[in-house]
Structure 1
Amino acid sequence: MIRAAVLLCLGLLLAGCNTVPLADTPTRAKITDSTLPPMKVFSTPHPSAPTRSNANIAADFLALHFRLESGRKLDYFTRFETPVTVRVSGDPPPSLEPDLRRLLTRLRREAGIDIRQIARGSANITIEVVSRAEIRRALPAAACFVVPNVSSFDEFRRDRRKPKTNWSVLRTRTRLGIFVPYDTSPQELRDCLHEELAQALGPLNDLYRLPDSVFNDDNVHTVLTGFDMLILRATYAPELRSGMTEGQVAAQLPALLARLNPAGTRQPAAPVTETPRGWIEAVQTALGPGANPGARRSAANTAARTAETLGWQDHRRAFSHYMLGRITQVTDPDAAQSQFQAALHYLSRDPATRLHAAYVVTQTAAYAIATGNGAQALREIDPMLDVAARAENGALLSTLMLLKAEALDLTGRPDEARSVRLDSLGWARYGFGSDWAVRAKMREIAALNPQNRGRG
């Protein structure tokens, strides 16, 4: 009975979009009337300033701007050279406009980008809202994506194989199309806006080595961070311009970053460890669509062995253990917990990875609840609630709160449990969207509690 309940931990996986990109297209892999409490929304951003050396940030900047996700090299730096206009088309759900306004305000204030939304006419960036089915027909592994030199989904489909939509031949940016789904949760839509608009404006690459960025296919960070805003501010600095080569940009970065991020000049540079394609491909096989369970397990083991062989001590090593735990918990939940504990061990070394740790805690706390240890679950969950809130992650926050409610019930505090459970539902509506998805998450987590077994 306990083993069967523990297997439900698999349902608590909080992966973001599946971002296994097709070729060189950067990707990020309707709310109905509800009887649930009103949806809650985040209002105040909490970006943290990057703590790494400017030397490391310069290396990251070059890797983000002069490589595509496929590994293909770009010859020229590109950005918009005029004020940027943004227009929304299609059938946007109610949550899109307020989240987009908040994002544009942040880009103006934190990144210094001259960007504004227009209601009609031609725009530099058109955000078209289409169905998930249309997106998957175009790019099966993507939740949303951005394409140069198009302004509509029809234009993208017509010209997708023409040079105009090839990032590698671009010399400057004038017109781009972003395609996001309307039939998804408000949080997923917001996450798409953050990553795809950031890539429309700046970096086209994602780097697994970044612990504090949306430009990372682990999808841990879902809103633009302080590091991301620094990268975008540097992208639009007057020292740079479209058409510069990597060498020309590299020559400008030390003084540019010293001006924008003086604290980074006092930090010692850390060794830059590249992420090999073999590890990336193993992760994509393990977590992406299409692979059978055996292939996923094999790929996860390959990624974990690679991380160990390379001697990684960072969040990538932790992610390898976390991924292996997720995949093996169906067949061996006890061994999976060992993998999660290993992940937490590596994450404990870097304060910048607290959000990563919060994801792992959804698994370890669920296991503690399933085995009747509510006190242990509470010790794990409580420090992570503020982490999830500051990261503006409604899905993660509501999951932690629902877990906390079950842990409170286990420890004989039913009134507190009811209050926390009710409070979680507004965040769940933002994070998971539809009533049925919220209620399914509630049932899934309630089923972990030994006290609820046998109640139907």
Structure 2
Amino acid sequence: MRLLVFICLFFSLGTAQAQSETLTLKKLIDQFNSVVFIHEHGKQGREPKPIIKWEKPIVYSPSGTLTRDQVKKFFDLMSRIKRLTKLDMRMAQRGEKANLIINFLPKKALAKKTKPGINCFGNIKVDKKTYRINGAKAYIPSDRPDKTDHCLIEETVQLFGLTNDSTVLKNSMFYEHSKRTSLSVSDQILLKALYDPRFKSGMKKDEAQGVVRTVISEIVKKASKKKK
């Protein structure tokens, strides 16, 4: 069956919080292509890139002075990402080296690490031969109520291979002017889709299009059946 429009699609994925969003299969595919196959900070600005993704266990850790609320939001986000991607993820134990670190810094300290006007940013270490992610860090302002929560969501999720902003879906965290502080329905679909095993690290946009349509269609149909 050809599924074109999904109205008020609930995509809770085992959580108590259901979200709704009006989507089309075409927009989801366009969004995936815009976010996954482009790097917004290439040597000459936005540049095309193949799929990059984690294929090794992730040992993660927050760094800096966090409030109790920030700690909760960090661990809630990592739990949500783990459910969506099915990756082997766990918190670093004392003395253990993490390969994914979220740094919370006061805005003055953060300003020394980046260009003026940049509120937060992330770095990803990618194996140039396999295009697998080996490590990643994000830098989040710890004392910006207007930016902290959005930066945490955006920069952390981008560390998983969703590396570009987009203008396709305004309700998405990846929308260029988004101020979202939670993952939208489409954001969850994209993250879940990227970590489907049919997508391989190094896969280029043209060769991936058949897989993109198949995987996203399957995710949406499964979610639609749960709704019923």
- Could you tell me which residue of structure 2 aligns to residue 72 of structure 1? 46
Distance 1:258 1:190, change over 3 A: same
Identify the residue that residue 103 of structure 2 maps to in structure 1: 128
Quick check: 1:118 aligned with 2:118?
no
- Structure with a larger share of its residues in helix: 1
For 1:147, the equivalent position in structure 2 comes to 123
Which residue of the other structure, out of 49, 59, 62, is the alignment partner of 1:85?
Answer: 59
* Alignment match, 2:4: none
Task: Report if aligned partners of 2:99, 2:136 keep a CA contact under 8 Å in 1.
Answer: yes
Alignment partner of 2:165 out of 194, 206, 209: 206
Aligned to 1:193: 152
Work out whether residues 88 and 119 of structure 1, in 8 Å CA contact, stay in contact via their aligned partners in 2.
no
Normalised to the residue count of structure 2, the TM-score between the two structures is 0.78
Q: What is the CA deviation profile of residues 346-387 of structure 1, one whole-angstrom value per residue up to 9, with x for unaligned ones?
A: xxxxxxxxxxxxxxxxxxxxxxxxxxxxxxxxxxxxxxxxxx
Aligned length: 205
Q: Deviations over 1:273-319 (max 9, x none)?
A: xxxxxxxxxxxxxxxxxxxxxxxxxxxxxxxxxxxxxxxxxxxxxxx
Matched, 1:243 2:202: yes
- What is the distance in 2 between the residues matched to 1:192 and 1:44? 23
The aligned counterpart of 2:29 is 58
- TM-score normalised by structure 1 residue count: 0.41
Structure 1: how far apart are the matches of 2:222 and 2:137? 36
Distance 1:211 1:113 in 2: 28
Cα distance in structure 2, aligned partners of 1:119 and 1:44: 29
**2:184 aligned partner:** 225
The answer to whether 1:45 aligns with 2:17 is yes
- The alignment's C-alpha RMSD in Å is 2.8
Question: Where does residue 99 of structure 1 map in the other structure?
Answer: 73
Displacement after TM superposition at 1:44 (Å): 5.6
Is the CA contact 1:100–1:190 (under 8 Å) kept in the aligned structure 2? no
Change (3 A) 1:188 1:75: closer
- 8 Å CA contact 2:123, 2:136 repeated in 1: yes
Distance in 2 (CA, whole Å) between partners of 1:238 and 1:77 is 12
For the 8 Å contact 2:166–2:174, the answer to whether it is kept is yes
In 2, distance between residues paired with 1:148 and 1:198?
11
Is there any run of 5+ residues in structure 2 with no aligned partner, and where? 1-14
Distance 1:204 1:168 in 2: 16
Deviation at 1:113, TM superposition (A): 4.0
1:112 to partner: Cα distance? 3.7
Q: Secondary structure at the match of 2:101?
A: strand
Equivalence map 1:441-452=2 (5 Å): none
Judge conservation of contact 2:171–2:178 (CA < 8 Å) in 1: no
2:9 aligns with none
The 5 A counterparts of 1:418-437 are none
Q: Does the 8 Å contact 2:52/2:201 carry over to 1? A: yes
Q: Whose radius of gyration is greater, 1 or 2?
A: 1
Q: State how far apart, in whole Å, the 2-side matches of 1:189 and 1:75 are.
A: 28
Instruction: Check the 8 A contact 1:51/1:264 in 2, yes or no.
Output: no
CA displacement at 1:110 relative to structure 2 = 4.1
Displacement of 1:237 in angstroms is: 0.4
Over residues 242-298 of structure 1, what are the superposed CA-to-partner deviations in whole Å (9 max), with x where a residue is unaligned?
A: 111111221211211122112799xxxxxxxxxxxxxxxxxxxxxxxxxxxxxxxxx
- Contact kept, 8 Å, 1:87 with 1:117, in 2: the verdict is yes
Distance 1:97 1:64 in 2: 27
| Residues 120, 155 of structure 2: 8 Å contact kept | yes
Distance 1:144 1:168, change over 3 A: farther
Contact 1:66 1:75 in 2 (8 A): yes
- Indicate the SS of the match to 2:39: coil
Distance 1:213 1:244 in 2: 24
Query: Does residue 1:182 correspond to 2:154, yes or no?
Result: no
Q: CA deviation at 1:69?
A: 2.8
Which structure is higher in RCO with an 8 Å CA cutoff and minimum separation 6? 2
Trace 1:8-407 onto structure 2 (pairs within 5 A): 45-48=17-20, 50-69=21-40, 72-120=46-94, 121-137=96-112, 138-149=114-125, 171-185=131-145, 188-262=147-221
- What is the DSSP-based 3-state SS (H/G/I as helix, E as strand, rest coil) of the residue aligned with 1:180? strand
1:197 is displaced (CA, Å) by: 0.8
Please tell me whether the aligned partners of residues 213 and 224 of structure 1 are also in contact (alpha carbons under 8 angstroms). Answer: yes
Q: Identity rate of aligned residues, in percent? A: 22
**Deviation string, structure 1 residues 308-348 (Cα, Å, up to 9, x no partner):** xxxxxxxxxxxxxxxxxxxxxxxxxxxxxxxxxxxxxxxxx
Superposed displacement of residue 99, structure 1: 0.8
**1:205–1:168 distance in 2 versus 1, CA, 3 Å:** farther
